[in-house]
Amino acid sequence: MVASIAIGQIVSRTGRYKAFIVAGFVIATLSILSLVTLQPDSPYWHEAVSMVFIGIGMGMAMPILNLAVQNEFEQKDLGAATSSVQLFRGLGSTVGTAFMSGILTAGIISAVGHPDDLAYIQTLKNRLPHQRFCRTTSPLIHSSSSIHRSKQFVMAQNRDSKNSDA
């Protein structure tokens, strides 16, 4: 947040943005590479500092990237260009998360191996209170309930504003 606000102010004053995009991605990439050097006995601050710099780098680059795309297209194409950036950013996040989760899972399985007593592991999940709650109330019910409450709030606000106008 801090980096994106600060860089936004600087770009507003100077009008230059390309260097901040490159610098942000370089900072984020170097910070991610520093996470590769973590060992089980690495101090917590090493991880924390790396994560802070990843946030700074991404905060510098990502918001300004929208500005760069918008500067390259005509007024009539701004909506399509900006939404394309958001679409591919979301797709990249989804595919990247799935890919990295697969790598993490494969690494854990190769390091730990397959557990011998799967039946015992299955009984452990029934002992967790959170899991018992999730079995009784599905995420679909939670999300539909939240959507319903949100719609009720919006309708109530709309009704109140119409009553105050009359």
What are 13-30's pLDDT values in tens digits?
998 999 999 999 999 999
Pairwise CA distance, residues 5 & 12, whole Å: 11
Token digits of residue 46? 């090493």
**Beta carbons of 69 and 82 less than 8 angstroms apart:** yes
- What are 122-154's pLDDT values in tens digits? 676 666 655 445 555 555 555 555 665 666 566
Kind plus residue range of the DSSP H or E element containing 98: helix 78-112
Query: Which pTM value belongs to this model?
Result: 0.60
pLDDT of residue 39 exceeding 60, the answer is yes
**Beta carbons of 25 and 63 less than 8 angstroms apart:** no
- Distance (Å) of CA 165 to CA 118, 133, 151, 153: 65, 45, 21, 18
- Distance (Å) of CA 3 to CA 9, 32, 33, 55, 132: 10, 17, 20, 8, 41
Q: Which residues of 100-138 are buried (b: 16+ CB within 10 A; e: fewer)?
A: eeeeeeeeeeeeeeeeeeeeeeeeeeeeeeeeeeeeeee
Residue 115: what are its φ and ψ, rounded to 5°? -65, 145
- The pLDDT of residue 87 is 94
